[in-house]
Amino acid sequence: MLVNIKINGHSYEFDVTKKDIVLNVLRNRLGLTGTKFGCGTGDCGACKILLDGEAVNSCTLPAWRCDGKEIVTIEGIGNVSNPHPIQEAFVEGGAIQCGFCTPGMIITAKALLDKNSNPTEEEIRESFKNNLCRCTGYVKIIDSVKKCSKES
Amino acid sequence: MENYSLEKEKIKRPNPITFKEKEKIDIVVSERKEDTIEPEYVGKREILADGLLKACGQLDYLDDMSFQDLLYGKILRSTIAHGKILSIDTEEASKVPGVKAIATWENTSPIRYNSLVRSIKDDFGMTEKIFDNVVRQYGDRVAAVAAETEEAAKEAIKKIRVEYEEYPGVYDPEEAYYSDIKIQPEGNRLPVTSREAGDVENAFREADDIIEYNLNTPMVHHLTLEPHVCVAKWDPGNELTVWAPQQGVFGVQINLCKIFELPYSKVRAIRTPLGGGFGVKVGIILEPICAELSRMAGRPVKIRLTREECMVSTWTRHSTKTYIRTALKEGEITGVDIRHFLNAGPHASNTASIPFAQVAKIYKLYNFENLKFTAIPVLTNTPLQGAMRGFGSPQIFAALDSAVENVAIKCGKEPLEFRKKYTAKSNDYNYLDPKDAVDDCTIDRCIEKGKEVFDWEGKKLLPKTEGKYIYGNGIGLGVHDNGIAPNEPDITGMTLSVYEDGSLCLSTGICDHGGGSYTILRQIIGEILLVPPQKISVETPDTKETPYDLGAYASRNTWVGGNCAIKVANQIKDKLLEYAKEYLECEYEDVIMLEDRFIDKNNKKEISRVDLISWVFFTKKEKIMVSDYFSSKKNAGSYGAHFARVRLDTETGEVKIIDYVACCDAGNPINPMLLEGQVEGGIQNGIGLALMEELLVDKRSGRVLNGNLKKYKIPIATDMPENLRVVFLNVYEKAGPFGAKSIGEAATVPVAHTVAHAISDALGGKEINKYPITPEMILLKLKS
């Protein structure tokens, strides 16, 4: 079936089957490899994208369900020559080690801060409940989000 | 030792060692001198060089890279834990459109290997084959398919028919030690390590009391966020190239040459960025399977494991069972007898090396008059177990430190003060491993500083209960080593070259697992050569292009890598000074090196750095570069005293860590931000071990019951301590690069037992004999 999805500001038409998952469409058809495969079961958050502003896992999300919707991936948040303040805060705050969870973490942080520009520490921790990190202990991730909230 | 102690804000740059003194370099590379100037880059919170790429999703991990003509591989896994393959029928599978190769035990290399050898001469047990006609664990590899698409490979795997003769399995190391069920042809027993200090038998004979303490620790999976992935390309010239997120490329080369009987010149292993390692990306797992499939298909093959395969079919932290008896006389510990069973899973792997690592460290933390340590590694039919952050230290120190805690509680002594009677002091003798000197021991200073930051005395006065909540405080001690010297060769090589514009290229086989090893190497080289770290590029580890490195494990990267970086940078500096001396027509001692130029301090004649490099090229017709290696001779201890305050919910059994202090000695910090990050991550890892992580094996079928993230939980942001503080002693280590020591593994060693001791305190001193300490276990303890 044909679906129309707006991704990072551009409109795309895809021919998809019921089984096609958004993560694979992004990675394999558009080369947007910033969104990572971590578990395939929606449990680790490495594949998070913004779907109409909500942070959702793309590894269990069928593409047909996104017809007419808008997706923003990590590439749509910012890039090396024009990074988003959250991306800069993660780098400067030491919130990144191996970096594999980072795109998903930044997507979650973006969704949170878009809705709540001054979240409490508890709200930040709660928002990351579906994002796993195995390197940082989340400490500097939380601090970096705090820093963004104060600056915004 | 006090002479080398300095506060963070007063860090001084060591006097550079000139090329003429290089004979001394291997022993003491960065001895601090008094007449020093402030450091430029060392000690600073330098950001990760590839941090922004990672933040923007623009760093390519292996699964993000493109390869021409790539095939996709899938592995068929055994559904039983032990048995013989009577037949494998691949006919239906081969008919699936797009299938290009099918590998089984019948058509792949039969050479037995050990996935973790470091040298062809290593005598670890050779128990593995790419595929075998015996499966030895649930999820063992049975066959593999390469196809045009992942879907075709998956479909083909489903169509392979396997007939097994099922054997009984054994899943407990103690049972397996005595069992008639033979997991390998050579039996289940791996070499036992037994060492004794003093006279333990006599201590027990003369004891007026004997206290026992037992601890079981679980199989814990590393859970790198990046699943295991590998690409292999066997080209027509019989040259094999493999790409993988590897912690050590040279080990891959050694093993693949052995398995396929290829000369070293024909096998090339390339590291791709690691999305986490923690010990599960050392050695070979997918490499030989991808290689066989590629050889058969004549095209490159990629295998990416599912999350369940990562959890069940790679390896885990060793589960252990430890029995400790302590002899007491007049309230003092006079003897300690430790029996430590290690579950290896079905292969030798490097399990028998764990006790060697453990014996080296016990006397770096505790100095008992009489102590016997017997470690018994045994094969079982559980998932394979192997290296994980701490390499046996979290398990053995949890048992030993808890045994001491337990004695203190039973004897009515204050546990912190009681410990200090037995902690090691500087220059104590290492009775279990005399070659590995204790040298500077800072555990007492970690205890003192941590006690103050945590407010141990104040916390003890706080109320123990509040409604349905009960509270407890705990302390835990630990140590981990830096590298594998002096017992084993611990070597890394580097090439450092100067570009025309003065920037530098470092070629190293060291693999940065993401913790920032390359950032640290850049800071060190930048400091010596006065080049900003951003102007130093680091080559991708590649057995064909970068110099040798043993592998990114055993907390070696900062310790061995940092010292090698100092060595090559000092040689480059000496060359630059020699050339400058010649150009400026002055004495070597009169040349002053600045970031942008070299000056003769007497007549102020100068040349810019860029012009000097050009002058060397055009006039001297020389290129400024050096290659050398560093062989570590010493192994310092990185110490930690951790403190926790927990709150237990007596209705649900839920544990909340409300306050946590980690006081660590990692020497003089090269990058405090990265150092903190390592400790924070290490605490998270230890909390998982203490409270929630355990790969569960059904005791009858051997099936893994929770090999997925729905059932196997790791600490999330809300599980971390509410108030977490990491503090460092900043004690300058003579043999460390700029006084630094490693932290990655040491960070996690004391965590689990610190939490356990706090829980035990909340429970009124009840013993904890098993991790993870689940809510169910706490509710049971509350009832008893």
Average pLDDT (B436-453) is 97
**CATH number for the segment(s) B2-60+491-631:** 3.30.365.10
Q: What angle do CA B65, B69, B75 make, to 5 degrees?
A: 80
Going by pLDDT thresholds of 50, 70 and 90, the confidence category of residue B529 is very high
pLDDT digits (tens, 9 = 90+) for B720-734: 999 999 999 999 999
Average pLDDT (B77-100) is 98
Q: Do the first three CATH levels of A2-77 and A85-151 match, i.e. the same topology?
A: no
Does B47 sit within 8 Å of A136, measured CB to CB?
no
**A80, A92, A139, A145, best to mutate vs chain B, most B CBs in 10 Å:** A139
Residue from the list A38, A77, A96 with its beta carbon closest to the beta carbon of B51: A96
Residue with tokens 């942008």: B596
Q: Do the first three CATH levels of B69-167+228-276+281-313 and B316-485+634-783 match, i.e. the same topology?
A: no
The count of CB pairs under 8 A between chains A and B is 186
**B46, B54, B309, B519, best to mutate vs chain A, most A CBs in 10 Å:** B54
| Cβ count within 10 A of residue B392 | 26
Give the helix/strand (H/E) hosting B394: helix B393-410
The answer to whether B708 contacts chain A (CB < 8 Å) is yes
Q: Which residue of B has its CA nearest to A48?
A: B57
- Residue A85 DSSP class: H
pLDDT digits (tens, 9 = 90+) for B219-253: 999 999 999 999 999 998 999 999 999 999 999 99
Domain boundaries along the sequence of chain A: 2-77, 85-151
| Cβ count within 10 A of residue B631 | 14
Residue from the list A77, A132, A140 with its beta carbon closest to the beta carbon of B225: A132
Q: What's the pLDDT score for residue B784?
A: 87
Average pLDDT (A54-72) is 98
CATH number of B316-485+634-783: 3.60.70.12, 3.30.365.10, 1.10.260.40, 3.40.50.720?
3.30.365.10
Q: How far apart are CA B591 and CA B600, in angstroms?
A: 5
Average pLDDT over chain B reads 94
Q: How far apart are CA B577 and CA B571, in angstroms?
A: 10
Termini Cα distance of chain B: 49
| Cβ count within 10 A of residue A109 | 30
Fold of B69-167+228-276+281-313: Aldehyde Oxidoreductase; domain 3 (3.90.1170)
How close, in Å, is residue B129 to chain A by CA atoms?
28
**CATH number for the segment(s) A2-77:** 3.10.20.30
Q: What angle do CA B552, B554, B559 make, to 5 degrees?
A: 80
The answer to whether B59 contacts chain A (CB < 8 Å) is yes
Q: How far apart are CA B216 and CA B26, in angstroms?
A: 41
- For residues B14 and A141, the model is more confident at A141
Write the ipTM.
0.98
Average pLDDT (B1-23) is 34
Q: What's the pLDDT score for residue B68?
A: 97
Going by pLDDT thresholds of 50, 70 and 90, the confidence category of residue B37 is low
Give the helix/strand (H/E) hosting B627: strand B625-631
0.90 exceeded by pTM: yes
Which residues in chain B have their CB less than 8 angstroms from residue A75's CB?
A: 56-58
Is the pLDDT assigned to residue B3 strictly greater than 50? no
The count of residues in chain A is 152
The closest of B220, B390, B389 to B319, measured between CA atoms, is B220
Average pLDDT (B54-71) is 98
pLDDT digits (tens, 9 = 90+) for B539-551: 999 999 999 999 9
Cβ(B39)–Cβ(B12) below 8 Å:
yes
Does A83 sit within 8 Å of B56, measured CB to CB?
yes
- What's the helix, strand, coil split of chain A in %, to 5? 40, 20, 45
Cβ(B630)–Cβ(B549) below 8 Å:
no
Domain boundaries along the sequence of chain B: 2-60+491-631, 69-167+228-276+281-313, 316-485+634-783
Does A136 sit within 8 Å of B677, measured CB to CB?
yes
Strands B71-77 and B141-147: antiparallel
Burial class of B3 by CB neighbour count within 10 A (0 to 12, 13 to 18, 19+): exposed
The closest of B472, B474, B477 to B781, measured between CA atoms, is B472
Is the pLDDT assigned to residue A60 strictly greater than 50? yes
**A96, A126, A127, A143, best to mutate vs chain B, most B CBs in 10 Å:** A96
How close, in Å, is residue A132 to chain B by CA atoms?
6
Does A134 sit within 8 Å of B223, measured CB to CB?
yes
Going by pLDDT thresholds of 50, 70 and 90, the confidence category of residue B193 is very high
Q: What superfamily would CATH give domain A85-151?
A: [2Fe-2S]-binding domain (1.10.150.120)
Going by pLDDT thresholds of 50, 70 and 90, the confidence category of residue B122 is confident
Q: What's the pLDDT score for residue B120?
A: 86
Is the pLDDT assigned to residue B4 strictly greater than 50? no
How close, in Å, is residue B118 to chain A by CA atoms?
25
Is the pLDDT assigned to residue B5 strictly greater than 50? no
Going by pLDDT thresholds of 50, 70 and 90, the confidence category of residue B13 is very low
Does B273 sit within 8 Å of A99, measured CB to CB?
yes
Q: What's the pLDDT score for residue B520?
A: 97
Q: What's the pLDDT score for residue B24?
A: 36
Does A77 sit within 8 Å of B276, measured CB to CB?
no
Q: What's the pLDDT score for residue B400?
A: 98
Q: What's the pLDDT score for residue A151?
A: 54
